[in-house]
């Protein structure tokens, strides 16, 4: 049997090793999104349960925003801001795609309730979120949990990442994205 001090040292080493693995995985997920690199391809179901792929939007700018949950305060604020700026994004040859783990049915209800004119995509296994660095380990109240990071990726008409907002504040974010899009198109 191990002595108590040695047991505590081994436990501490195991904990540090585990945290290192978690942090490395989190950094790896975020590191995949680099401006100038090819945007990772994806296919997800939209609110109408139809497949939507990134390749469907070749020749257009794509605003791909990730959010935690339909019909919650911050997510509603962000979706309504994108809704209210929809025509401006259209004029800039851009489509807006929201992604959460919610079901297509939840997306339909969210769209109906707030008269959203956006395409919302369902990523129930969070694979696309993970690929785009929007799913990973977060610390809150001293605890580590996996959760969605509210973030946005702007993809140019050639499929390259033009801009990345890794941590978004919902109110006013649509305006930030619109301004960045205008600058990039000049």
Facing residues of 160 across strands? 38
> Phi and psi dihedrals of 124, rounded to 5?
-60, -30
Three-state secondary structure call for residue 99: strand
Low-confidence residues of the chain: pLDDT under 50: 7-31
- Render pLDDT for 52-93 as a digit per residue (tens, 0 to 9): 999 999 999 999 999 999 999 999 999 999 999 999 999 999
pLDDT of 3:
56
Using alpha carbons, select from 76, 33, 62 the residue that is nearest to residue 177.
Answer: 62
pLDDT of 181:
96
Quick one: 32-185 is in which CATH superfamily? Glutaredoxin (3.40.30.10)
Using alpha carbons, select from 53, 43, 70 the residue that is nearest to residue 148.
Answer: 70
Among the options 75, 121, 128, 148, which is catalytic?
Answer: 75
pLDDT of 6:
55
Cα separation, 53 vs 42, in Å, equals: 5
Is 75 catalytic? The answer is yes
pLDDT of 136:
83
pLDDT of 129:
97
pLDDT of 179:
97
Three-state secondary structure call for residue 130: helix
DSSP state letters, 44-80: EEETTS-EEEGGGGTTSEEEEEE-S-TTSHHHHHHHH
pLDDT of 94:
98
């Amino acid at each position: 049997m191990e002595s108590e001090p040695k047991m505590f040292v081994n436990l501490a080493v195991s904990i540090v090793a585990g945290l290192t693995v978690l942090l490395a995985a989190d950094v790896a997920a975020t590191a995949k999104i680099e401006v100038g690199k090819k945007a990772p391809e994806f296919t997800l179901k939209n609110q109408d349960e139809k497949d939507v792929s990134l390749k469907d939007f070749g020749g257009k700018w794509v605003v791909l925003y990730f959010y935690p949950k339909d019909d919650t305060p911050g997510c509603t604020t962000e979706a309504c801001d994108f809704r209210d700026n929809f025509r401006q994004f259209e004029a800039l040859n851009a489509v807006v795609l929201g992604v959460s783990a919610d079901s297509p049915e939840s997306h339909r209800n969210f769209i109906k309730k707030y008269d959203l004119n956006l395409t919302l995509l369902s990523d129930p296994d969070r694979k696309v979120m993970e690929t785009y660095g929007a799913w990973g380990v977060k610390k809150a109240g001293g605890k580590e949990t996996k959760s969605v990071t509210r973030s946005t990726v702007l993809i140019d008409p050639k499929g390259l990442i033009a801009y990345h907002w890794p941590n978004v504040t919902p109110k006013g974010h649509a305006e930030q994205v619109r301004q960045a899009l205008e600058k990039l198109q000049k």
